[in-house]
Structure 1
C-alpha cells in the first residue's frame, strides 16, 4: 500500500506541473529575456547598460527581511533576491488520504493526489510571476524596486536618462491635439542616432493603445476626407504604424494577482517602451540553498528543478505525519541591450 511519502514527492509534483503546463503560453518577458542558469548568482554576472555590473542601492544592515511587497518575494538575502514559499498538507486532506490509501486501486486516491499536486503547482506558477514582474519593471522604468517591511531595495541598471521622456500635459496622447506619430518618430531617431540601432517594436497596454485608436491626427492621416468618421480597428492601426514608422505593436495586458489578491497589470498603463529586434538580456537563475545543499540526498528532503531554476522541495514530517512542499528561486534579469530601448510616459 502506498503512503503519503511515496505519492507526494518533489519528482511527482515536478512531473505533474510539467505535464499540465506543457502547452503554456510564455510570458512576453520570457521571449525577450531567455532563461539561463549558473551556479550561485553573483551580481558581477548580472549586466546592465554597457555590459556593466548592476549595483544594489544602499539599504539597512543585515539585509534579510520577510517581505510582502509588489515583487512578491518572501525573503531577500544578502544582495540577491531570494523567493521561497511553502505548503503543508492539511489535517483534513491527510485524513482523506488515509481513507483512500488503504485501497490498492489508484483510481480511488489519484483524484485527491492530483488536487494536492495542483495546489503545489500554483506555487511554481507564482514563482514564474516573480521574474515577469521584474522584467516588466525594467522595461517600463529601467530599474527593479522591492519595497516592504521598512526595506527598500533598488537594483540600479544605470538606464540612460536621455532615453526616457514624460510628455507634457498638452502633448499627452489622451489630448485631442496630440501628435503621437511625430513623438514616436523622434524617439526612434534618437535611439538610432545614438546607438546605430533602430527600435522595431513597441510594448503598451490596451488603454495606451486606445489613445492611438482615437487620435485625431492618425485618423485624419488614414482618411483625409473624413477622418472623424473612420471606423478604426486594431488591425488598421497596426498596419498603419508598421507602414508609417516600421513599428510592430505588442499590446500586453496580461495580469497577475498580487499579495493582497488584487489583479495587477505586468506592464503599466500610460507607458510605451520601444525595443529593437532580438533578446534584450537574460533571466538568470541561481542555485537555491535547497538545490545546493539538499539535492544530493542524505536528508529527508527531495528536490526537483523545473523552469530552469525553480526548486521544488518536499520534506517528510513524522509528527504530525505530513509532507511539506517548498518552492524557491533565486532570479534576476540582465539587460545588456538596454541602451537600445526608449521608455516614454505618454499620459
Structure 2
C-alpha cells in the first residue's frame, strides 16, 4: 500500500513549487539571485566593495514583517539563517490516509496539492524575508532584520554625501519646494566626481504625489501645454528635464500579528544608475550541506536558487514535517552610485 511519504516528499513539493508562475519584481531585477558555497558574510559587499559591518540596533521597530525565524551570529560573521516548519494537519493526514487506503489516485493528488499549498506559503515566507531586505536596502542603504537576538542593523556604508534629509520648507510636501533643484543637486554629486549621473528614481505613489502637486512643476508643464496633470505627463517631464525615469513602487507583506504592512516607506526617494545594483546572495544551508557533503540521509531539495525544503517522516502518528530554510542576504556593490533622500 502506498505511504504518505510516497506523495509528500521534497521531490514532489519542489516540482509543484517550481511550476508556479514566476513573479517579476523591481527589487529582484536590481538584485538578481546568486548562489554561493558556504555562509560567510565576507561575500556580501557594500560601499567601496568592502565587507559590510553588523551592529546591534539602538532603536526598536514598531512593526515586524512576517518572516521566518532568524538566528544571526554577529561574532561569526555569517549571513542570517531563516527557518520554519509545518506539520501536515490532522484533518489532512486522516483524509490522505483514507485516500491511500482506497487507492483513489485522483483524490490523493487533490489532497496532496492542498497540502502543497501550505508548503508554498513557507517558501513565500522565505521570499518575503529576502524581498524585505532588498526593499529596505533600496530605500535606506541598510537593513533591519528580525532575529531571535533582537533588531539587527546591517550597515552597507552609505557615504554622507550620498544621502540627505530635507527639512522645513524644503520638504517636498510643501508646494513651493524646489524639487527639480533637489534632484539636480543629488545628480551632480556624482557628476562632480566624474561618475555617471543616476538616471532612475524609486519612490512610492504618495511621494510621487508631491511632484504632481508642486507649484513650479505644474506651472512649467501647463506652460508648455494647458492640460490636466497626469502621472505620465509628470514622468515625461522629469525624463525630458532631468533625464530621470521614475519607478513608482508598492507592495505589502504581513507582520507577525497578521496585519499588512508596506515593503516601501513613503517620503523616501532613491536615485540609482542603470543596470543591476548588487545580488541576492544565497548561502548553503545545513540541510543542503548534508545533502551534498554529509550523510545524504535528509530528504532535501533546493528551489529558487537557495531555499532548502526538507521533509522529515514522523511516527506515532505517522505524518510528515516539512521545513523550509535559507541563508541569504543582498550584496550592494553599486551603493556608491546611488543617492538616498528623505523628502518629508
**TM score, norm. by length of structure 2:** 0.92
After the TM superposition, which residues 153-302 of structure 1 pair with which residues of structure 2 at under 5 Å, given as runs?
A: 153-194=152-193, 196-224=195-223, 230-294=227-291, 298=295, 301-302=298-299
Superposed displacement of residue 41, structure 1? 1.9
Distance 2:159 2:212 in 1: 30
Distance 1:108 1:286 in 2: 38
1:194-252 Cα distance to aligned partner (Å, 9 max, x none):
3512111111011111111122211100112897xx42111111111111111111111
Alignment partner, residue 145 of structure 1: 144
Q: Any conservation in 1 of the 2:65–2:254 contact (CA below 8 Å)?
A: no
Distance 2:87 2:146 in 1: 28
Alignment partner, residue 109 of structure 2: 110
Superposed displacement of residue 262, structure 1? 1.6
Residue 46 (structure 1) aligned with residue 44 (structure 2): yes
Alignment partner, residue 65 of structure 1: none
From the superposition, tell whether residues 271 and 254 of structure 1 become closer, same or farther in structure 2 (CA, over 3 Å).
same
2:309 to 295, 303, 312: 312
Distance 1:320 1:297 in 2: 28
Q: Any conservation in 2 of the 1:191–1:342 contact (CA below 8 Å)?
A: no
Q: Any conservation in 2 of the 1:69–1:146 contact (CA below 8 Å)?
A: no
Q: Any conservation in 1 of the 2:69–2:147 contact (CA below 8 Å)?
A: no
Alignment partner, residue 91 of structure 2: 92
Q: Any conservation in 2 of the 1:32–1:280 contact (CA below 8 Å)?
A: yes
Alignment partner, residue 19 of structure 2: 19
- Secondary structure of 2:192's partner? helix
Distance 1:233 1:6 in 2: 57
Worse-superposed segment, 38-47 or 98-107: 98-107
Superposed displacement of residue 38, structure 1? 0.9
Alignment partner, residue 70 of structure 2: 75
- Unpaired segments ≥5 residues, structure 1: 60-67
Q: Any conservation in 2 of the 1:195–1:339 contact (CA below 8 Å)?
A: no
- Unpaired segments ≥5 residues, structure 2: 58-62
Distance 1:237 1:297 in 2: 58
1:247-282 Cα distance to aligned partner (Å, 9 max, x none):
111111121112221212212111010000111111
Distance 1:203 1:112 in 2: 43
Residue 5 (structure 1) aligned with residue 5 (structure 2): yes
Distance 2:314 2:293 in 1: 19
Alignment partner, residue 64 of structure 1: none
1:141-166 Cα distance to aligned partner (Å, 9 max, x none):
11112256563322111111111111
Worse-superposed segment, 260-269 or 113-122: 260-269
Superposed displacement of residue 32, structure 1? 0.4
After the TM superposition, which residues 318-333 of structure 1 pair with which residues of structure 2 at under 5 Å, given as runs?
A: 318-333=315-330
Distance 1:290 1:149 in 2: 20
Distance 1:225 1:289 in 2: 62
- Secondary structure of 2:223's partner? coil
Superposed displacement of residue 27, structure 1? 2.4
Structure 1 residue ranges (4+ consecutive) displaced by more than 6 angstroms after TM superposition: none
Distance 1:149 1:330 in 2: 15
